[in-house]
A = this chain, B = another copy of it.
């Protein structure tokens, strides 16, 4: 296995857009190539135009390119295996959302709408040949301290974003995951009612 594109397209039962079927979350990132700034800008622009409750746009991002103090700061807050591979990514992004308003009242759809925005970002990035891997394993309080994140804001995920790298550089356990088939439960089990 070398630095080639692995065919991990989903075995869909109904046709979906190539970018949706082919999107996956690698752990092998190219540690040399800098981010293509135009592609990064397009990915963030895609998130920008995501829908949200009453157009509230609760999403916020910390964007850090490899080599910056911010990239190091995010990397050092990752937990477990994430630290092993994610530092190679050309960009690390902390995906944050505004969970309470100025009066301290919860914003009901802030987390949901962040998920939508990151999905739009990911779809655009994959269309442009980049890859995204979202992580929930990080020490949120460490990120809060490092970046002075307001208490009204909640870091939900860290995204690795960049070009695909050489999977043979990964530890063996992660290499296996890198080529494992993508699986999902049948759609019938997702539909509580289909009327």
Contacts and interface: CB of A to CB of B under 8 A. Distances in A.
Given A16-B124, A192-B60, A192-B149, A112 B111 contact: yes
Given A51-B25, A187-B48, A157 B109 contact: yes
The dominant DSSP class at the A interface is mixed
Please classify how large the interface on chain A is, using the bins under 10, 10 to 19, 20 to 34, 35 or more: 35 or more
Nearest to A112: B115
A8 B68 CA distance: 39
Residue among A14, A112, A123, A124 facing the most chain B CB atoms (10 A cut-off)? A112
Contacts of A111: 111-112, 115
Contacts of A42: 14-16
A69 B108 contact: no
In the A-B complex, the 7 residue pairs with the closest CB atoms = A115-B115, A119-B119, A70-B195, A112-B115, A14-B45, A116-B119, A68-B195
A81 interface: no
Contacts of A16: 42, 45-46, 49, 124
A120 interface: yes
Interface string A6-45: 0000101111110111010100000000000010011011
A62 B190 CA distance: 9
10 contacts: A17-B127, A44-B187, A57-B185, A61-B190, A70-B195, A108-B136, A109-B157, A112-B115, A119-B119, A149-B192
B187 A45 contact: yes
Contacts of A96: 192
Contacts of A191: 44, 60-63
A147 B112 CA distance: 22
